[in-house]
Amino acid sequence: MLLQWCTLSPAGPSKLSAIRFSSPSRVHSIKIFPTDVQPFGQCPNIIARTEPEAFFLDVYFNAYPVGSPVDAKQKLKAPNALMPTVIPYAGGIVEYAVNMGSEFATRLMIVRGDFETVSMAIYGDVVSDSPPKSTTYSPLSLPTHSSVPLVPALDAAKSNDPTALARNLLALIPNAPSLSLVIRLMFCLKQPNDDWELPEFPHLYSDLNEEEMDIDLDTAFRSLSRPVVDDISSEQLHRFAKKVSEAVGPRDDAQSYLIAGILSRSASQTPEFAQALMQALELETIFDPSTLDEDALFTLLDATTNPDISRLLKASWFLNVLRAVLAPPTVTPEMKKACRRLSDRVGSWTVFDQALSGVPDADYTRAALFLKDIGKEEKSFGIWLSCITTHEDLLAKIRDAPAYEGVYPPDLMSGLNPSEDISHSEFMAFVRAYVGVASVLAVYAWSDSLPNLHCRERTLGVLRLWQEIPGYRAIISPLLLLPQMTFRLECMTIGNDPPTTAGINAESLLYALAANPQSFLNSDFVRCVRSWEPWSLTWINERERADIERAAKIAAEGVRGAVEELVAFAKEGHDAILDQGRIRALRVAMAVIMHTLEDNTESGTKCGDWTVLEAVWGEHTHGLLNYAIDVFTRISVEVKQGFSLTPSPSLTIGLEPLLLVTNESLLLIASLYAFSITTSRAVRMLVSGVLDMYSCADVASHESVANSAVRDAALLTKHACANVLCAFSRNLQDQSKCGLSVVLRTLFEQGLHFDNVDPTRRLLSAFYLVLRVLADDGDLPVGWMPIVIPQILTPLTLFFRHLEPAHKVQLVQRLVNLDRGVLGLGDFLVQGEVKRLAGLLKVMTERGVVTQWEVGAGLEFVAGLIEGEDGDWCISSLYQSEWGTVMTGLLEASLYSRHLGMIAGRLAENPESLGIELRLSVVAVLLCGVQVQEPSVRRMNAFGLISAVLETTDEKDRDPERLLWEVGHALGAVVESNDNLSSLDSESVVNTLLLLDSPSQSDLHGLTSEQWVKLCTHLETSLPPNMLSMLPIIKGFHPFPSPPPTISFLPSTLTMPLCDLISLLQPPAPLPSTPPPKRKSPSQDVLGLVAISPPTAVLRSPAVTGLTKTYTRNDFRELRQLPSARQNTSRLPSMHVDDFLQVEMSSSPLVQPVAPSGDMLNLSPSFNMGQENGYI
């Protein structure tokens, strides 16, 4: 709501103005309007007056405490505290957010500054001291969050011409050159300062016809320092290319460098130029391993950003040259980097072109990383941008790309997205956004070089907007780290008084870059932020500037400073304070160490590892991995507080930076583990913290989380959690102490440790991590199962029992595939589960529906294994288990489950392997399934399976009376539920009845006369001729109507009152009991009281021997009557020991002991503890 509208003018020498609110208010925002603007459409007579156009405002809010139980007198005595802030006003209508928090409000607002008048609207809420408490409950729905799309003019990702915005911005400059010329001048062919002063600039072009005579390579190279005019003829280009070809002489380093330079300078020109050179030059006769030095390789790296040059250099001869350069052992790390990047770039252009075309097997991830790589150098970036905007074939692919339906372009710069998860439309939206951002950056560089203030301000505003949008942010951030971009932004942050919009936007862009620790690896960015003087910035406050400077100092000091910061934080332990500045410093320190370690991959050496070790030793310490684990543990404690079940103080810093520093610490730990030594305690602590972080990140990555940045950080954290456990599990040495055994055991144990967290989510997180650790047997150490599994069998079994049936199936199948029958681990787990089910059936009557649900879950697990691709091993395991007892118990309890019917059907397929009792139980279960018309049994030929099983039994083993009772009710259910009985297997029904035909039993219970007639009629018409002779025997059965049996289904879900659930989850209360007396060694008592020589006589004496046994009845009295016993003990005769021991020896461990009647309260003090401890 609008709290106040006012036009202020400073008064007095202090230039102060004040606004007093009628009641305590909480200010949310302040909106300043320039002169002659009507702030309110309904009040045209209100006109704003703000002079001058730009100035600083010092704003002070009176701090008024609210929401605390303090009486009025105490509030009046509260100090008159002022909360200061600074508003940089640079013109226009600007709104500034004010975060006052919920603890304070204000009554007074003081404004000071070098202004004449200022018109502002103050928005906020009126705050009451004691807000009314709601007495009624009103449910609230979760808010829905939707992203606000960009306007089409600013959304390059959805534009057929992504350079349109850049061209429009360039048009704000009078007599502006073309966008292609701007790109070449800003990134590829930078002109000397003298050329900028010429009146013809920027239209200064190379004259390729200037030299009619033969030219040498150096002259040709220098003549290409300026752009070539766009409308140059093809004949001129081919004539110049021929002159360059004729100037080629014997191979040497200088010639290779000049040819590489000519190719590099022609790469950004008109497309026909590079093509003409490639046709004229025989590069195979120019480049060889002996003539390619470091400068030539990096120059070729820029040149191959042109698709035509890259296509020609992809030939096998050039790739063999690069391999030959890498072959000598003395090659420098920089040469290795250049060769590897050059080899990758010539191949990446083909991948990128396939991705643009949308071929079925296009590698979109590698194509996106190709764009990330070219954005590291200005010249490569400029050449690619010039090619993508001038080559008609590439422009056509961008223009004709499929429509993109997303709100913002996808973030593909990280390279974490699998290529198969990226669609062609998503990739093309990413490419369009990249081209749009790159083109606008070129316009910004041109407008800043002139300078043109209006175009520069508008361009920076667009860049700042894109910096705040996912997808665009990932593109613009690395491009702003190009040297000239960082330098331009740095210049705009110096001397920004009075404030300008462009300066504020520049500070905002740099501040956003400082949020990414990778920015501090750029020396230009570090130099930029370290050049800031205290209290010199407009948009960045002093505390933030100091934090950024501290992080920049760590980056400038290199790996030694990073190690020092990391070790110092780890040594502070749980007392370490985590704030925004400390997190930034830690992230930069980790980034510096990781960058040093990554030097191993880029240079092909191990110098990165050695550099880190030297830095650790330089700090007079060792074990950087353990320090990194301590840092991660401290961070995990901070994150876990925000996800606890009980209310906890809100996090002082945002969740996104906490998740990001967690991700980076895990990446560092995984990298350090390759060359470090640690202990099992540290590994257990790490795994426990990883489980906590994975569970928290799983919650934060849910789609209901509004902040997309938090979701992305959570996904990165989950990925890092799984990767670090896999890294520790792949250790080839000491598996039993610090490797896979410790990782799995800790996951199993900590997955069942619920410390103020959601137990279901924690168990599920542990399960997913276990599957990731056991994902690929090829990555695990050879022969790990016989070593690891016996050590973790107990926690594995306990963890397994707590899982849901579907997750049990996944875990067992994974373990069986890894075991390959060596240990029989799957059989062990299945037979243990069957044994548990058999035990549950015995107590089902007492425990009721909870046990029924447990049994149903166990049946679901067994059925899931049998339904799997390789379920035969599970069936074989059931043969050797108590499965028959389980099926019999369920039948006796009249309980059924669809999973039970499916299992019985699979067992019936091979009845010869079953025992007699199990075969009859299978038959009874199938008949029970037919009676209840369970769908899975109806789909199988139940009577066919029943007759097949009965045929494998002897007549003496069958129970005709019981089975005929079941068959009759089953047939009654079939006849009752089907009109035409077309699905009934008549032959199997007849065979079943014949197998159960008995002279003493001919009644078919469960069938009425009408149903029997209908069934017999169907048999007459459906039986084959060779079985019609059996009908008289069948008709000899007599239908006997009887009510159907009461069969209950095992519950698939569990519903119970909350009070019952609470009592079920409460741990059993310990039974009160008198603690046993502390026993002492009898030998010590005897030797301590009496000095006897030799002592062996005492040790052999009956007294000592008697004191070591358990006394019953009168043994104690008889022993104490001996002289030696009275001499060697000070205990008085006990009158209650007989009764006490009699009760203790006769009590059952399952029954609560009952105190004997008598004078229990009259015992001696050492036994009379009942009243004091509350037991009596």
Question: Could you read off the pLDDT of 849-872 as tens digits, one per residue?
Answer: 889 999 999 999 999 999 877 888
Question: Do residues 131 and 26 make contact, with C-beta atoms less than 8 angstroms apart?
Answer: no
pLDDT of residue 993: 86
pLDDT tens digits for range 530-572: 999 998 898 999 999 999 999 999 999 999 999 999 999 999 9
* CA atoms of 48 and 869, how far apart (whole Å): 77
Q: Where are the beta strands (DSSP E) in 996-1145?
A: 1003-1005, 1038-1040, 1048-1049
pLDDT tens digits for range 1063-1092: 777 777 777 777 777 665 554 544 444 444
Most confidently modeled of 252-256, 1162-1166, 1170-1174? Answer: 252-256
Question: Do residues 1006 and 1016 make contact, with C-beta atoms less than 8 angstroms apart?
Answer: no
pLDDT of residue 1115: 53
Find all residues with CB under 8 Å of 375, minimum gap 6, and list them: 381, 478, 479, 482
In the predicted structure, residue 296 carries a pLDDT above the cut 70: yes
Find all residues with CB under 8 Å of 115, minimum gap 6, and list them: 10, 50, 51, 52, 55, 57
Looking at residues 18-23, what average pLDDT do you find? Answer: 90
Q: What DSSP string runs through 935-982? A: HHHHHS-HHHHHHHHHHTS-GGG--HHHHHHHHHHHHHHHHHH-SS-T
pLDDT of residue 880: 86
In the predicted structure, residue 646 carries a pLDDT above the cut 60: yes
1161 pLDDT tier (thresholds 50, 70, 90): very low
618 pLDDT tier (thresholds 50, 70, 90): confident
Indicate the length of the chain as a whole number. Answer: 1176
pLDDT of residue 1007: 86
Which H or E run contains 122? strand 118-126
The CB-side HSE value for 824 (13 A sphere, CA atoms) comes to 7
pLDDT tens digits for range 366-381: 999 999 999 999 999 9
pTM over 0.75: yes
214 pLDDT tier (thresholds 50, 70, 90): low
1149 pLDDT tier (thresholds 50, 70, 90): very low
pLDDT of residue 974: 86
Question: Do residues 818 and 873 make contact, with C-beta atoms less than 8 angstroms apart?
Answer: no
Long-range Cβ contacts of 599-608 (<8 Å, 24+ apart): 599/333, 602/333, 602/336, 602/337, 602/340, 603/333, 603/334, 603/336, 603/337, 604/326, 604/333, 604/336, 604/340, 605/333, 605/336, 607/333
**Which of helix, strand or coil describes residue 923?**
helix
738 pLDDT tier (thresholds 50, 70, 90): low
User: How high does pLDDT run on average in the chain?
Assistant: 85
In the predicted structure, residue 1095 carries a pLDDT above the cut 50: no
Q: How far apart are the first and last CA of the chain?
A: 67
Strands 1003-1005 and 1038-1040: parallel
pLDDT of residue 311: 92
pLDDT of residue 1136: 46
pLDDT of residue 1090: 46
Find all residues with CB under 8 Å of 496, minimum gap 6, and list them: 503, 504, 507, 537, 538
Which of 35-39, 745-749, 877-881, 1106-1110 is predicted with the least confidence, judged by mean pLDDT?
Answer: 1106-1110
Identify residue 447 by its one-letter amino acid code: S
211 pLDDT tier (thresholds 50, 70, 90): low
Question: Do residues 736 and 788 make contact, with C-beta atoms less than 8 angstroms apart?
Answer: yes
In the predicted structure, residue 1098 carries a pLDDT above the cut 70: no
Which of 62-66, 283-287, 329-333, 1109-1113 is predicted with the least confidence, judged by mean pLDDT?
Answer: 1109-1113
pLDDT of residue 1103: 47
Looking at residues 913-922, what average pLDDT do you find? Answer: 88
CA distances from residue 257 to 225, 253, 286, 316, 551 in whole angstroms, order as listed = 15, 6, 10, 21, 39
Find all residues with CB under 8 Å of 612, minimum gap 6, and list them: 559, 563, 593, 596, 597, 624, 672
pLDDT tens digits for range 159-196: 999 999 999 999 999 999 999 999 999 999 999 999 99
In the predicted structure, residue 1169 carries a pLDDT above the cut 50: no
pLDDT of residue 733: 57
pLDDT of residue 76: 47
pLDDT of residue 207: 82
pLDDT of residue 956: 80
Find all residues with CB under 8 Å of 620, minimum gap 6, and list them: none
pLDDT of residue 184: 95
pLDDT of residue 1081: 53
pLDDT of residue 977: 80
Find all residues with CB under 8 Å of 1137, minimum gap 6, and list them: 1111, 1116
Strands 64-65 and 104-113: antiparallel
pLDDT of residue 736: 54
* Percentage above 90 pLDDT, the chain: 50
695 pLDDT tier (thresholds 50, 70, 90): very high
601 pLDDT tier (thresholds 50, 70, 90): low
More confident residue, 663 or 1004: 663
* CA atoms of 185 and 446, how far apart (whole Å): 9
With CA atoms as reference, report the closest residue to 190 among 379, 376, 377: 379
Which of 645-654, 814-823, 1101-1110 is predicted with the least confidence, judged by mean pLDDT?
Answer: 1101-1110
More confident residue, 694 or 984: 694
Which of 47-56, 364-373, 840-849 is predicted with the least confidence, judged by mean pLDDT?
Answer: 840-849
- Rounded to 10 deg, the angle between the 542-557 and 559-572 helix axes is 120
* CA atoms of 611 and 561, how far apart (whole Å): 13
pLDDT of residue 185: 95
